[in-house]
Amino acid sequence: MTDRTVTDETFRPDLSGQTVGFIGLGLMGKPMARALARAGASLVIASRSQGPVAELAAEGMLAATGPLAVAGQAETIVLTLTDTVAVESVTEALLPALRPGHLVVDMGTTAVEATRALAARVRAAGADWVDAPVSGGTVAAEAATLTIMAGGTEASFARALPLFQAMGRRVTHVGDSGAGQIAKTANQVIVGLTIGAVAEALALAKAAGADPARVRDAIRGGFAESRILDLHGGRMVSGDFTPGGRVTTQIKDLRQAEQLAEQCDIDLPALGLTLELFEMLADQGDGGLDHSALYRLFAR
């Protein structure tokens, strides 16, 4: 049995000789593909937007015409797509080409029920599936220090682990198919609520007459310390909301969390309120900003 959590600050696998398909080259996908290439893998790439494809092809990756072409050239196929609908669409396109030996690794944030259904369809085709969403944003993707939470069989996780170690620093096999997405849903609930807490606290400090940047410095290292107070709090006090994780993506993830809560018959009132706040932010035209821009709802 593989270890449930694998952490190593120095180890990087050698992926030389491996060909990896990679579909989806957005804010997260592009640096993740580069991390695999740095580890020695040969990349066959495809994406809805052709700009990133051309950029990475100029770096030596092989551009493919679409999912079927990717599956024809690579047994392991990584997906980093925008939402559940996109994952379902690309998987549907892949299915005719899948055969025993293929492994599909979904590293986006996909609804749990859909993930389990897709895993079943891929396995019915003789291939295998791992859901392996990530946390850490574009900063961690570029540094190849992502946190990766995986669902799937022991064998499929062990096969995908070297790829994960090329892109991340902490990798956990949470359980069977869908378990990785459950973990990511929990992660996004914590992220969304904590962004809200930091935004309200710093806005209160400003309204009360203190410098929010100095207040942030003052409370760091105490019980309020967090990665979000560090990175997102820094964005709030600087006013730089260049997207690492967009407001629209946070809304999509929180809606999926709310749907999962409904399916599990559990009431999460703070989740519902936080979703409403992010929706208000998008309604005022800020949906394309970094999700730390929630601060703009409160700061005056």
Active site residues: 184
Question: Are the CB atoms for 208 and 214 separated by under 8 Å?
Answer: no
Listing DSSP states for 226-295 in one string gives: -HHHHHHHHHHHHT----SSBHHHHHHHHHHHHHHHHHTT---HHHHHHHHHHHHHIIIIITTSBGGGGG
- Are 41 and 19 spatial neighbours (Cβ–Cβ below 8 Å)? yes
Closest CA to 47 of 34, 59, 32, 29: 29
Cβ-in-10-Å burial (0-12, 13-18, 19+) of 48 comes to middle
**CA–CA distance, 59 with 87 (Å, rounded to integer):** 26
Please name which of 176, 175, 191, 208 lies closest in space to residue 252, comparing C-alpha atoms: 191
Contact 12, 140 (CB under 8 A): no
Which residues have a Cβ under 8 Å from the Cβ of 253 and sit 6 or more positions away? Answer: 109, 184, 185, 188, 192
Question: For residue 121, what are the CA distances in angstroms to 175, 221, 252?
Answer: 19, 48, 24
Helix (H, G, I), strand (E, B) or coil at 105: strand
